[in-house]
Every structure is written in C-alpha cells, then in structure tokens.
Amino acid sequence: MMLSDFLALPDEHTLSTDDAQALNEALSKAELKDIPSEKHSLVIDYLKVALLNGAVAPNIQDDLRRLLVKLKAAS
C-alpha cells in the first residue's frame, strides 16, 4: 500500500497484512513533508499500534520510531 492510499482511507478501515507491511516500508522512507498536517494524528495512531504490536520488520523499526517522534513534535 502506498502512503497516499493510506492517507485517503476513511476513518474506519482495515488493512491486510500485506498492505500493512507495504505501508510500513513506505512510511520508513517517508519524510515529515510527505504527510499532510491534518493526517499527522492518523499516522501517529497507526505507528503506535504497529510498533506496540510488533507488526514492524526489525530492519525498519528505527526509521518508523524516528518518523513517529517527528510527527509528535510537529503536532
């Protein structure tokens, strides 16, 4: 799943495992400027759940944590 697809989802949605893994990869390469400010809370919530549930590949966990910190600071 591309980041733009995720950002366009309605508030209530589900993701397949494959979509979540693809989204995690996309988010690991994303910059703060890639995420509209009105979508920061959506991405923050997603990242918190994904990281807490161990649903993130170990090789990109640090990248997602960095993005989470940047999003929180900007919100």
Dump pLDDT digits (tens) for 39-53: 999 999 999 999 999
CA distances from 15 to 20, 59, 74 (A): 6, 21, 26
User: In whole angstroms, what is the distance from residue 16 CA to residue 41 CA?
Assistant: 21
Percent above pLDDT 90 for the chain = 91
Name which of 73, 70, 64 is nearest 46 in CA terms.
Answer: 64
pLDDT at 1 over 90: no
**In terms of pLDDT, which residue wins out, 13 or 65?**
65
The whole-number pLDDT of residue 66 equals 98
Residue pair 69/75 in contact by the 8 Å Cβ criterion: no
- What pLDDT is stored for residue 64 in this prediction? 98
- Its pTM stands at 0.92
